[in-house]
Structure 1
Amino acid sequence: MKKRQTGTTPPVPRHALHLLATTLFLSAAPAMAQGGSTHAFHLAVQPLNRTLLSIAAESGVALSYDPKLVESVNAAPVSGNLTAAEAIAQALKGTGLELVTTDSRALSVRRAQAAPATTSENADPKADRPKRPVPAPSDAEKTTVLGAVTVSANRSRPKEDPQRAPTSSYRVTGREIDEQHITSLADLQQLVPGLNIQTTDPSDTQFTIRGIGDGGGQTSGEQNIGMPSSVAVYLDNVYLPRPGMLGGALADIDYVDVLSGAQGTTFGANSTGGVVDIHTPLPSFKPTGSTSISIGEHGYVQNKTMFSGPITDTLAGRIDFLHSSENGTVTNLANGDTLNGSSINAVRGQLLYKPDSRFSLRLSADYSNENDTPTAVLYASHTIDGSNPFLTHSNLVGNRVVYGGTDHDVDLDDENHIHLVQGGASAEANYRFDSGYNLRSVSAYRYFSYLPSQADSLSVPIYANSGTQILDRAWSQDFRLDSPHGKYFDYAVGATYLGENQATQAFTRYANSTLPGLYYGSASYDGLDVIRLGTLHDETWSAFTQGTVHVNSRFDVTAGVRLTYEKKGGQFIRYNKAPFNSGYLIQYNTLPSATLNFRYLLTRDLSSYLALSYGEKSGGLNVSAGAAKQAGYNSLVIQPERTKSAELGIKGELLDGDLIAKADVFLTYVNAFQTQSYDPSTDSTYLTNAGTFRSRGAETSLQYTPDDHFLIQTSAVYNDARYLNYHHSICPPEVTLGPDGGTAVCDLTGRQVFNAPKLTLNASVRYSWHTLNGLSSFVSARYSYRTWMYGTVDDSSFTRIPGYGLVSLAAGTGGKFSRGNWSASIWVNNLFNKTYYRRLVESDYGSVVGWIGEPRMIGGTLTYQF
């Protein structure tokens, strides 16, 4: 990393620079435990400075050296699954330099001394550091350290699986989430272009990447559990059948990788649209801890506390606590309550057993308890064929109509409440053989218990104490064997088993009065209790193999296949209204996935790639709706979704590494698109295969670091996602409520796919500096923009979500205190208080309700870590 003198500041003596750099480095070191974990390194002969930066970026360790010391020196090749110290030792072979550890446990590179230095070959892997720390050299023999190279993995330098498809990927680190003050899962889309997250509560969270993902888009007060998303979510290598299973895990983040395109060979069948891959930090063999408190407007409070350290020489532990609460910003005019808030308490514990450098066992368990008041506001009601049916029916029952888009107000006689308890446990074991092979085993169990109490969106009692109770349990076992990096060929093979049991109990409890009958036009609703029971049992077995042929030093070819066999069984029963019993249904599917990737090194710093993939996502069952009564029993079985994708891209470093850039074009076809529609005759959501659609576009991202103070990042995705063949869509309300209301189906061929804005853009800039009094400070700004999109699968003009742009600012400072470091920051999200909607959905009689995004919030964060 280059150190440049800027501005008119007078030159600082070299001894002062040395002292300052060392002080800054040592203050950061406690928060960066020198990693004993291994990483896959494949670095050819190149300038030593570049190799050292790559190792630091890959492993996240802190490293200091004199840039002049490594000028005109080439590194030895580095290859294998190695710790950071082992990789650096390989790189230094034959250079006359050595790796040492100072009294403060900082890694440093210096000229080789007469006495042999402690290196990775006699290091103690149990303590993640050499057995005998080498004292800092005396003034006569030490090198002048002009800068401490401290590199943490980021979006531009992903820690990639060597067999991973070279498609577009973005990395968001936990540090970046904290610095940008991302307060919710949905706000992750403000950092990653092409990612779209619609969420109303943890049971109803939809991910899409480039328009491909969760086929939701309708709401009817119940959830259909019979279909997984095609954007797979992983937590520490454990597949989560529903994104809401993340719970409090986002408070304990090492990094999040968002991968575009089909990833079925290495991540499984249900990743045909992409992957959100989340990793939490490992326990440390060095005592560390931190606590932070954030306070903001609207009652926002978040506290995160972490402790980690050794229990024995071979066992380390880590525990994370989270409390987060927010009052919400929706006001109920009926009683003055503030709604749409949340409160969560979570704990996550880990143990890391590491008897030597070859074997590690990581045990994790987490628990969270959440209470929310999700509340939509009335966005609009529409005049159709000369009348406004929602206002007409509201007048019949005396409902007070309040449009909440401006003041965020509602008028409700009853309110929504949900209670969610969830958690799980996992065990990950890694064993590295002397031959370089690595065997990984991941065992996991998770549960999700969701208890809602939902009401209508009216000021009079139509229904209340309703909703869909969900109990979801999943267990999995995964094995993977990775070969060492070979001169001509390397590969990975694996096998996975996944089991899941889901059960739902859905209730709609209508008021015991004449109001429901007046509102819906039938006295049969008065005092009616509609009960719907659904069960789903999934079992899948899959195996994959993927290998890379190194044709020459410039050209790699990667090919892989996965075959998944699934057995899916379920049943749906409905009582009291349109009674129905599907009986127990069983579906069997064999789902192939394949990939073929080409990488070509154009220059030392610039590479190109072509990625081709095919995948089939799991089939589904209509286990939450009695659609078969009208559509026939065949409608209860949903066929697998088939995806073909291609991506051509280029990425690399320019301007001597100051500019990191990538660009690509992509094309994806989705056949038998799995989505859900709404059946007004039974007030229920049902699943369907909705023809074919195409997603195509271009993507680019830049990261520019003109000096050691500025960081500028921009990224954008243009995506044209359109239905190519959707001749039998359910009609939107502007049709069903109009003079042509008898029309059974509509043709959406050629229309834009829902949940797919055409353009998403993110940009951020950060300036940081250090002062001689030991303070480290920063200022930053972020802008996120997305164009309009349809909120429901029927492309209703009523649910067209307007585009919006958000600006956020932050500033902070920090320094050393006692044995640790403190930092303080102030931040403002949504600076201009833009009103925007996370989601718009159709409600009764042409009305539309929406979930409002976060208004302007000003807050501050205070952190101490040691």
Structure 2
Amino acid sequence: MVEVTVTARRRTERAQEVPAPMSVVRGDDLKASLISQVQDLQQALPSTNAAFSQPRVSSVAVRGIGSNPANEGLEGSVGLVVDNVYQGRPGMLAIDLVDLEQVELLRGPQGTLFGKNTTAGVLNLTTRKPTFAPEHSIELSGGQRGYYQALASLSGPLSTTLAGRLSVSKTHDDGWLRNRHDGRRYNSVDREGIRGQLLYRPDASFDLRLIADYHREDDTQGTLVPYGFGPAAPGKLDWQAAAAAALGLPAGSRPIDTDPRSHQVDFDSAQRMTAYLGGVSAEANWRLASGFQVTSVTASRFWTFRPRNDNDLTPAPGLTDGGFSVKHRQFSQELRLASPSGGRFDYVLGAYYYHQNIGDDFTTAMGPKADILVLNNTAGLGIVDNTFGRSHGQGTTDSYALFGQGNWHVNDRLDVTVGLRGTHESKDGRVYREALAGGRALSTYPAAARAVVAATRGAIGGAYDSGDLHVSGNAPSGLATASYKVTPALLAYATLSHGEKSGGISISGVGSAPTLGAQSLKIEPEKADNLELGVKSGWWNNRLLVNVNYFRTRIQDYQTNAFVQGPVTKVLILTNAGDVQSDGVEFDVKARPARGLSLTFTGSYNDAHYTRFADAPAAAELAATGATRADLAGRPVVGAPKWILNPGGRYEWRLGDDVRQYLIANFAWRSRAEGYIDNSRFARIGAYGLLNVATGWRFGAGDRQWDVSLWARNALDRRYFLAAQASQLTGGGGYSAAAGAPRTVGATGRLEF
């Protein structure tokens, strides 16, 4: 078995000797498993759910915690870290996973050592460093639907003390959703990126790693499909009836395709998104003669997102455009001191600073049928027909932290680890909305209707300014672990930990503030208490590794957002969704039973449910009774399947002296899960299993090797869905969903030299 090392405790250690629930996947294994995007990582990691439709509407959840839709005032429950740099928005990982060394998933609160506080875990990605020996590769792939991908990586010495690495990528897919309205394909992919690195190492006591990267995406990713058709609220038209009325079709017509597995949409406006991200970082390490190591990580990053969306998902001109354009900037500085290893006590101490500046602009453009589709109003007044609205949000965050974690090696078998982090965060924000513009002039309405028209327009899009808002507070995080080596190859451990995610200010639209006041834009911190009991074991000279752990996590004031019914239309609010409890078992098994054969099996059972959620949004079936709120206590948390099972295997054998063939198969299965926060049965995501298979041949030896493979992603062509969201149409009872990609068959050629 290949020995895997990790930096989970900010020093290099064997993964099997770290008393913590974690999964590690090497970059080469991800590539062999046909995993090239963050949303696909759930196919290799236990207790993980990645809900990605487009970069802004994305999230990563661990143990059912963190399946939160987009809000610029909301931080992820799972920390996303790339090369020791915390990524402030989930969309900053909506890129091709190129030139990865490995991925580490740490489960449970990880605030004591990793950047910003987290309540559910950390996804830690490490890219390959520059090398002082030449190391080059070129890879070309092609497949169905015009799919192609080109990857290249060049690494080597620039002098005796300086090495460089350059990685580039380009990915294209024509798309696989067909629009019946104009015949175009959607959910296309068009991404490209470049990453350059320099490694300066004058001697063994110092090294400096400089990284600069830039990525661009311009495509139709994020196109949703009509998914669930629930009943309408009393006195309202359901989604189908509203669309039929807007199109002038007879009552009872069903103009929207009711089979989401047909991969068809029908809308009349454009769908597109662009995203730009990148940044620079510098990591310096000083290894002192005393054995101490000082590490400094300085980074600046940016992320820009611009969408265009037909938000009614019908061929009628209702919500012809709408979405949030976002500009995010961040700066972080981390300084760590690690003591020498090998003694009775070792420790890591550090300080961390993070600054974020983020702004968004929300645009709503309504067409000549907006009264029917948006307001559910067939009176013909044209209250919001052909109107245009815009709101703006701005927020800043300053986070300061001191942290430390120590390991007391009581004897050769027993270790005790204690960690503590103190964080102070200060946030400022403001939202304001311009008055609804355009449409029919008020003076042209009959006198008796003017008051109704003016009041409705004011409730939907009246001018509003929250003024300056501020939240601040101190958040402690802590960890205590006892581990015992029962045998040299069997480690048992128990952990108690506490993590907090800071409160925030919703800057994504004005939400309910015009009616409930500006203070309703604030949310409380999310707090987690966690218990872990686990074992890590190696058998048969480490040809079999078996890691199993039990966990119980309790979350107080779980943060999320949802569409709720406002005075006239649905509004998006940021809220604390009561309390959550997550209980389960996770396992990670790796085996090499015979020469050339390797097997893996990861999985989890997780019961994640709300223990208190008395003011939840009402599902369509409940709203049909007239209710506007629901009590979800005891119900499952959105996006949290009870079972996740990921078996896989690879077999390689020689065909000749310089030719080897391999077979790879990986299967990822997850049970059904709630698709939207209101737990509607019309938004539920069904169970599904995905099979990826490949066969290939490696030619050559030494410094030049070829690899040619044939592969199939989602080989069984399973039609599956990642997450759902409620329709924005008043009273409509409908849900849309992000569909997973269908079967893709292709070939890849790779040259290493």
Scaled by the length of structure 2, the TM-score of the pair is: 0.91
Residue of structure 1 aligned with 2:212, choices 365, 385, 404: 365
Shift, 1:716, TM fit: 1.4
Query: In the alignment, does 2:514 pair up with 1:665?
Result: no
Q: 1:441 aligns with which of 272, 293, 296?
A: 296
Aligned partner of 1:232 in structure 2 is 79
Q: Does 1:478 align with 2:478?
A: no
Cα distance in 2, alignment partners of residues 180 and 228 from structure 1: 30
Q: 1:631 aligns with which of 496, 507, 516?
A: 516
- In 2: Cα distance, 1:696 partner to 1:268 partner: 26
2:663 is equivalent to residue 783 of structure 1: no
**3-state SS in 2 of match to 1:789:** coil
- Aligned with 1:640 (options 519, 522, 525): 525
Following superposition, the deviation at residue 554 of structure 1 comes to 0.2
Aligned-partner residue type, residue 451 of structure 1: R
User: Separation in 1 of the partners of 2:619 and 2:678?
Assistant: 5
Partner residue, 2:23? 170
| Deviation of 1:516 (Å) | 3.5
CA contact (8 A) 2:287 2:294 kept: yes
Aligned equivalents of 2:471, 2:190: Cα separation in 1? 39
Among 178, 183, 204, the residue aligned to 1:331: 178
SS at match of 1:425: strand
Amino acid at match of 1:707: A
Question: What does 1:167-246 align with in structure 2 at a 5 Å threshold?
Answer: 167-216=20-69, 223-246=70-93
**Could you tell me whether the CA contact under 8 Å between 1:224 and 1:685 is conserved in 2?**
no
CA distance in 1, matches of 2:722, 2:240: 25
Shift of residue 851, structure 1, vs aligned partner:
1.6
**Residue matched to 2:395:** 536
Instruction: Tell me the equivalent position of 2:148.
Output: 301
2:315 counterpart SS class: coil
Change in CA separation of 1:424 and 1:557 when aligned onto 2, cut-off 3 Å: same
Alignment of 1:685-696 (within 5 A): 685-696=572-583
In structure 2, do the counterparts of structure 1 residues 448 and 519 end up closer, same or farther at CA, with 3 Å as the change threshold?
Answer: closer
Describe the shift of the 1:678–1:733 C-alpha distance in structure 2 as closer, same or farther (beyond 3 A): same
Q: Distance in 1 between matches of 2:109 and 2:370?
A: 50
Residues 347-406 of structure 1 deviation map (CA, whole Å, 9 limit, x = unaligned): 000000000011000000001111121311112323458997222211211173223523
Instruction: Sort the Cα spacing of 1:519 and 1:279 in 2 relative to 1 into closer, same or farther, 3 A.
Output: closer
Residues 309, 805 of structure 1: alpha-carbon distance in 2 compared, 3 angstrom cutoff:
same
Cα shift readout 1:48-69 (whole Å, capped 9, x = no counterpart): xxxxx75xx4499xxxxxxxxx
CA contact (8 A) 1:381 1:388 kept: no
Higher-Rg member (1/2): 1
| Equivalent in 618, 625, 644 of residue 731 of structure 1 | 618
Are the structure 2 counterparts of residues 585 and 604 from structure 1 closer, same or farther at C-alpha, using a change threshold of 3 Å?
same
Q: Which has the higher contact order (CA 8 A, sep 6+)?
A: 2
2:15 matched residue in structure 1: 158
Q: Structure 1 residue aligned with 2:587, among 684, 700, 709?
A: 700
Give CA-to-partner distance per residue, 1:275-306, whole Å, 9 cap, x none.
Answer: 00001001011122100011111221111001
Contact kept, 8 Å, 1:432 with 1:439, in 2: the verdict is yes
Report 1:507-586 matches (<5 A). Answer: 507-511=363-367, 513-517=368-372, 520-522=375-377, 523-576=382-435, 577-586=461-470
Cα distance in 1 for partners of 2:31, 2:167 equals 15
Paired residue for 2:157? 310
Q: Is the 8 A contact 1:248 1:347 kept in 2?
A: no
2:286 counterpart of 1:416: no
Partner Cα separation in structure 2 for residue 170 and residue 278 of structure 1: 12
Closer, same or farther: CA 688–470 of 1 in aligned 2, 3 Å = same
Deviation for aligned residue 1:579: 2.9
The amino acid that maps onto 1:341 is S
Q: How does 1:8-47 map to 2 (within 5 A)?
A: none
Partner Cα separation in structure 1 for residue 40 and residue 24 of structure 2 = 15
Deviations 1:92-151 (CA, angstroms, capped at 9, x unpaired):
xxxxxxxxxxxxxxxxxxxxxxxxxxxxxxxxxxxxxxxxxxxxxxxxxxxxxxxxxxxx
For these two proteins, the number of residue pairs brought into alignment is 707
Tell me, in whole angstroms, the C-alpha distance in 2 between the residues paired with 1:385 and 1:786: 33
Q: CA separation in 2, counterparts of 1:469 and 1:751?
A: 34
Say whether the 8 Å CA contact 1:842–1:849 is kept in structure 2.
yes
CA shift in 2, pair 1:544/1:192, >3 Å: same
Q: Which residue is equivalent to 1:145?
A: none
Rounded Cα–Cα distance in structure 1 between residues aligned with 2:590 and 2:701: 33
Secondary structure at the counterpart of residue 241 of structure 2: helix
Superposition deviation, residue 177 in structure 1: 1.6
Write the distance in 1 (CA, Å) between the matches of 2:570 and 2:277.
29
Deviation sequence 1:313-352 (CA, Å, 0-9, x none): 1111110010001111101112211111110111000000
Letter in 2 for 1:211: G
| Partner amino acid, structure 2, of 1:525 | V
SS of equivalent to 1:706: strand
Residue ranges of structure 2 left out of the alignment (5+ in a row)? 250-254, 436-460
8 Å contact 2:6–2:104 — kept in the other structure?
no
Aligned to 1:378: 226
Match of 1:267, SS state, is coil
State the superposition RMSD in angstroms.
2.1
**TM-score, length of structure 1 as denominator length:** 0.79
CA shift at 1:769, angstroms? 1.4
Is 1:709 the counterpart of 2:565 in the alignment?
no
Q: Which residue of 2 aligns with 1:745?
A: 629
Per-residue deviation at 1:215? 3.0
Equivalent AA in structure 1 for residue 520 of structure 2: S
CA distance in 2 between counterparts of 1:231 and 1:81 reads 21
Structure 2 vs 1, CA of residues 81 and 355 (structure 1 numbering), >3 Å: closer, same or farther? farther
Alignment of 1:109-120 (within 5 A): none
The alignment status of 1:427 with 2:252, answered yes or no, reads: no
**Code of the aligned partner of 2:131:** S
Paired residues of 2:243 and 2:316 also in contact (CA < 8 A): no
Maintained 8 Å contact 1:199/1:838: yes
Secondary structure, aligned partner of 2:152: strand
Q: CA deviation at 1:488?
A: 1.0
The answer (yes or no) to whether the contact 1:678–1:686 under 8 Å persists in 2 is yes
The one-letter code sitting in structure 1 at the alignment partner of 2:208 is: L
Amino acid corresponding to residue 256 of structure 2 in structure 1: V
- The yes-or-no answer on 1:462 pairing with 2:321 is no
Is residue 2:564 matched to residue 1:675? no
1:614–1:478 CA distance, 2 compared to 1 (3 A) = same
Q: Deviations over 1:452-477 (max 9, x none)?
A: 11113110211224311100000100
Of residues 378-387 and 263-272 in structure 1, the stretch that sits farther from structure 2 once superposed is 378-387
Q: Which residue in the other structure is 2:750 paired with?
A: 863
* Whole-angstrom distance in 2 between the partners of 1:447 and 1:805: 36
Deviation at 1:246, TM superposition (A): 2.5
Could you tell me which amino acid in structure 1 is paired with residue 225 of structure 2? Answer: V
Percentage of matched positions with identical amino acids = 33
**Shift in Å, 1:680:** 3.1
Separation (CA, whole Å) in 2 of partners of 1:458 and 1:762 = 37
In structure 2, relative to structure 1, the CA distance for the partners of 1:204 and 1:250 (3 Å cut) is: same
Q: Tell me if the contact between 1:185 and 1:250 (Cα under 8 Å) persists in the aligned partners.
A: yes
Equivalent residue, structure 2, for 1:390: 239
Asked if 1 retains the 8 angstrom alpha-carbon contact of 2:583 and 2:607, the reply is yes
CA contact (8 A) 1:403 1:409 kept: no
Structure-1 residue corresponding to 2:454: none
Cα pair distance change 1:247/1:410, threshold 3 Å? closer
- Picking from 690, 693, 696, the partner of 1:812 is 696
Aligned-partner Cα distance in 2 for 1:710–1:235: 31
- Secondary structure of 2:473's match? strand
